[in-house]
Each structure stands twice: as C-alpha cells, then as structure tokens.
C-alpha cells in the first residue's frame, strides 16, 4: 500500500519504504548506488557540513535514469505489447527513457525543443532514440509528444508518475540512510520528481530532515505556485538551467511540494554558473546548470547554514563542453578558492 499524507483535507499518495526498496532493486540491476562525499573545500566555503550526492555518476550522467528504469520495467509487465514510447524532455528524462527502452528492446521517440543542448541530443541518439525537434520550450514538446502518442498509438511516458517517483527516491534513500542526521536538503525542481522523491524517502524513513526547493529565477512557476498555494504559470527565460525550465507546474507534484517543502529559493543563471565553477574547483566534478542549482541555493543562503548538516544533489553533469568552458573561463564574482582560503 502506498503511503497517504493529508494536505488541506485531501489525501496525497507517496510510495512506501518497501516500494522504494523494490524500485532500488530494479535500478541496481543496471547500475550501482552512487556515492555521497563531504568535500573539505565546500565545507570550508559554506561553513557547514555539506554532503554532495553524485547523481552525475549514473550511466546517463543524471538522476533521472533511475525513474526510467523502474517505469519501463513496470510497463513491460503491465503492457507487454507496447513497442513504442514517446516522451518530452530537455535532455535527462529523454536519456533515461532511451537508456531503459534500449534494455527492454522498445523504440523510444523523444521530443526536444529546437536549440536543445547539442551533446544531450547526441547522447540520446547514441542510445538509439528517434529524436524529434519541436517548439521553443518544454511545454511545446510535452503537447507535441501527446499528439504523437495519440496519432501513432505510442505509449507516452509522463514527467511525473509513481513508478518514476519510486525510482528517483532510491537515490534519496541512499543519501538519507548514509546520513540520517542531515538538517536539510536542497532539491532542484523541474517537473517535480526529484523533490517529491525526497519527500517520499524522508517520510518512509521517518526523518525530520527539512526540504528546500530550488527553482530558476528565470523559470519561477513553482515558486509562484508555492507562495500562492495554487498552480500559476510563468514564462521561461533561463539559458543555463534548462532542466528547471518549467512553465506549467504539475498538479500532483505541486500538492506534494505544498505539503512537504519548507520554502523555495530562486537562483539566477549567474548564481548557477558560480555554483558550477565551485563544484569543479572543489571536487573536479562537472555539473550542468540544473545539477548545480542546489549548490547555488546553498550559496545564496550561506549565512543561515552555519554549523548545519546539509545534503546537496549534484543531480546531473550533462553540460555542453563549449558552455562549460565559458563558465570556467569567466571572471565570476564568487572566486571559490580565494574566498574559501
């Protein structure tokens, strides 16, 4: 039975510990658990004990592969005749679907916006994905994917689903079982699977860890919706944090966020770039924009974090080399080594 929590008189379903552990077993058939490290330079810089969860170490370079593996595993059991799936993405969800579909011999059709990251597109094609470029933003892609599913009788994989949530929650279980004493975790919000999975794992383990959501200041729909207590659309203009480029919040995700998140921080592309640089200088790990958003939020709230124990997911490392080179070469206000010294 799924875990039910009550919010404003309504019951919201979250996966149980057993469901998450079962999902983890599926994930571990394709990959090992990822590490979490406390990096001394980051601790010194933030004045707190920081544990970075390295989801950039998965086979697709991002956390979403866990959800794709669990979703496709369940799909082939409940609908064994499905031969084609379709999904919308800015990259990591598509990589997840492509990786899992390849393992199960299913054709994956992935819709991305025009001008999407060159290297994410190439990585999806390398997995055998049929890549379809359409529209200017994620919402355009999602609507087009739904039309293709209807026209061709393809199965559409959503951005939010219980199976995806169970898979993603496996990484939070790894982190929280290793560090159950964390005071809070910062969680980037795209369509919501990451933050909802964090809530599920915290509930399943009975912990008091607080959740702080992170959105792009240039894609603030979830922040506006959180503050208003209802779904609010907002324009998307982020250039760097494409994984957070949400214009229309998911209703189910929003309900879980309203019931479980302490507050939401909005980070600018400049702050994200500074966080990407810090992560590279301090750990020599590459973070994409959305992958560094949690660190950017911690940097913004640095004065409130002294002596705390904090969990930060580096949830993806799929950034184009040319973009990352510009960030490393830029003269940013946050000179990581000198300020930490």
pLDDT number for residue 73: 98
The verdict on 124 and 216 lying in the same domain is no
Q: How far is CA 38 from the centre of its chain?
A: 20
pLDDT number for residue 12: 67
The answer on pLDDT for 306 being more than 50 is yes
The verdict on 36 and 129 lying in the same domain is no
The verdict on 121 and 134 lying in the same domain is yes
- Residue that is last in its domain, among 103, 125, 156: 156
The verdict on 57 and 69 lying in the same domain is no
pLDDT band at residue 179 under the 50/70/90 scheme: very high
The answer on pLDDT for 105 being more than 70 is yes
How many other CB atoms sit within 10 Å of the CB of residue 283? 17
Predicted confidence (pLDDT) per residue in 231-242, tens digit: 999 999 999 998
The verdict on 281 and 322 lying in the same domain is yes
The verdict on 34 and 110 lying in the same domain is no
Q: What residues make up the domain containing 83?
A: 65-156
Predicted confidence (pLDDT) per residue in 50-76, tens digit: 999 999 999 999 999 999 999 999 999
Q: What is the CATH number of the domain that holds 328?
A: 3.40.50.1100
């Amino acid at each position: 039975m799924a875990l039910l929590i009550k919010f404003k008189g309504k019951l919201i379903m979250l996966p149980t510990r057993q469901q998450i552990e079962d999902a983890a077993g599926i994930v571990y058939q394709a990959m090992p658990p990822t590490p979490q490290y406390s990096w001394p330079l980051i601790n010194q810089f933030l004045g707190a004990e920081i544990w970075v969860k390295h989801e950039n170490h998965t086979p697709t370079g991002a956390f979403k592969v866990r959800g794709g593996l669990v979703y496709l595993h369940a799909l082939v059991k409940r609908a064994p005749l499905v031969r084609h799936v379709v999904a919308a993405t800015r990259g990591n969800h598509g990589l997840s679907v492509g990786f899992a579909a390849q393992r199960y011999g299913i054709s994956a059709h992935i819709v991305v916006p025009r001008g999407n990251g060159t290297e994410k597109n190439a990585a999806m094609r390398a997995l055998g994905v049929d890549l379809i470029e359409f529209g200017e933003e994620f919402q355009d892609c999602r609507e087009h994917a739904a039309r293709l599913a209807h026209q061709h009788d393809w199965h559409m994989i959503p951005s939010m689903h219980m199976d995806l949530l169970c898979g993603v929650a496996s990484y939070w279980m790894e982190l929280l079982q290793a560090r159950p004493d964390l005071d809070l975790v910062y969680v980037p919000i795209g369509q919501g699977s990451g933050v909802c999975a964090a809530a599920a794992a915290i509930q399943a383990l009975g912990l008091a860890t607080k959740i702080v959501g992170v959105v792009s200041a240039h894609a603030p729909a979830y922040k506006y919706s959180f503050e208003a207590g209802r779904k609010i659309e907002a324009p998307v203009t982020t250039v760097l944090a494409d994984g957070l480029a949400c214009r229309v919040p998911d209703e189910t995700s929003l309900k879980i966020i309203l019931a479980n998140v302490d507050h939401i921080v909005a980070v600018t592309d400049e702050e994200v770039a500074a966080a990407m640089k810090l992560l590279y200088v301090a750990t020599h790990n590459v973070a994409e924009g959305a992958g560094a958003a949690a660190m950017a939020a911690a940097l913004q709230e640095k004065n409130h974090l002294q002596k705390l124990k904090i969990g930060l997911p580096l949830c993806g490392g799929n950034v184009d080399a040319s973009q990352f080179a510009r960030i490393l070469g830029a003269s940013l206000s946050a000179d990581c080594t000198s300020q930490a010294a």
